[in-house]
Amino acid sequence: MRPATERDIAAVTTIVADAMMNDPLFVWAFPDALRRRGRIAQVSITFARIGIARGVVDLEPGAGVGIWYPPGSSPGPSTLLRGGILRPLVHSGAATIWRLLRADAQFDHAKRTAGVDRSSWYLAMLAVEPHAQGQGLGGRLLRRGTERADLTGSTIWRETSNPRNVELYERHGFEVAHHAARGRHPEFWGMLRPPRPDVVGRRGAGA
pLDDT the model gives residue 109: 76
pLDDT the model gives residue 115: 80
Nearest partner of 106 among 23, 189, 16, judged by Cα? 189
**What pLDDT, in 10s, does the model give residues 60-77?**
999 999 999 999 766 555
pLDDT the model gives residue 148: 93
The model's pTM: 0.84
CA-to-CA dists, residue 31 to 28, 55, 104, 120, 179, angstroms = 6, 31, 18, 32, 23
Total structural domains in the chain? 1
Low-confidence ranges of the chain (pLDDT < 50): 78-79, 81, 83, 205-207
Give the CATH number of the domain where residue 148 resides.
Answer: 3.40.630.30
Helix 137-151 with 197-206: angle, nearest 10 deg: 100
pLDDT the model gives residue 60: 97
Residue 69 in contact with residue 121, Cβ under 8 Å? yes
Residue type, 18: D
pLDDT the model gives residue 196: 80
Provide the residue range defining the domain that includes 7.
2-206
